[in-house]
Structure 1
Amino acid sequence: MPTPNIETVPDALHPGGFQVIGGSRIPLIMFGGHVPQHVDPEWHSHATIPKTIIDLLGLPPLGVPRVDTAPSLAQHVDPALSRPVPPAPGSTITQPPPPSPTPPPSAPQPWAGPLGVLLPVLVTLDGSALPAPTDGTVRPAPPKPPKGSVS
C-alpha cells in the first residue's frame, strides 16, 4: 500500500517538493485493561500519539496545530472494558490459540487530507517558530562511499 504524499520539502531536483513525511510505516501497539483487541487500518502521523494522550487525560490543546488537529486514538480505549489482572512475575503463561480462520488485513481508506503540502513551520520547545527546511538535497543517484570504507 503506497504511503500518501502528505508533506513535502523542495530542493534543487524537486522544486515542487519531495515527500518527507509518511514514507515509512511505524506500528503503534496500545495495550491495557481497557483496550479491546483491534487493528486500526487508518492513516495517522506521529502527532496522533500526543493528541491521544491529551484526549485521554482531558488536557487543554497543546497550541501546536500539527498536534491539536491530529486524529486521536482515544476512541479505542473503553473504560467499561474489564480484563483479568496480569499474572504475577514468574507465573506460567499459557498462550491462547490464534484466531481461526486468520482475519484478513484491512486496507486503509484513502488519505482524506491535502497532499503535497509544504512542511509547516516547526515549533521549538520555547514556543518560537523555526522555518521548515528548504535546502534539502536529494540526488538522482546515491553518493559513492569513500575509498577504503568497509561496506
Structure 2
Amino acid sequence: MFDKIENQVIKKLICAAIIMVGGFVLFNLAFMLAASLVLGLNLLLRLGSNAQPPTIYGLLIFIVLLLLASYFVFRAQWDDLIKATFLTMPLMSVLIVLGVALYQQPQAVPIGIGAVIVGALCGTFYLRKMPWLYYFATAYVAALALWIVLAGIDI
C-alpha cells in the first residue's frame, strides 16, 4: 500500500496510526449500531427505553451481525491493513459487550475472559503467520478495553 515510502519505521508508524484512527471511527459506528439495535428492539416489542430483558438480546443480535460482517471481510481479498483495522471493531465490541454482561462480577472475571479471547486471537495469528498489523490491532484494543475496566469508565 505504501510502496513509495522506503523507510520501514515510517511505514509502520503510518500503518499503526491508520489502525488507531480507523479503529476509533469504527468503534463509534459500532456503538451507534448497537444502541440502535437495542432501542429498535425495545420499540419493536413496545417496551420502554429502560426495559432490561431485550437489552442483552439486542446486543447478541449486534454481535452476530458483527461476526457475519467479519466473516465476509476476512474472506475478501483486501489488504491486511484494512482487515487489521476492521478487526478492531468486532474485537472491541465483543470485549465491551462482555464487560456489560459481566458488570456485576468482580473485575477479574471480564478481564480474565477478555485475556482468553485476546490470547486465542494471538495464537491464531501466530499459527497462520499473519503480519504484525493484526497483533498491533489486537494489542491496541486490549489496552483500551483494559483501561476502560480499570479506570471504571461506564459505557
Q: Normalising by structure 1, report the TM-score.
A: 0.22
**Largest Rg, 1 or 2:** 1
Say which structure is richer in helix: 2
Structure having the higher strand fraction is 1
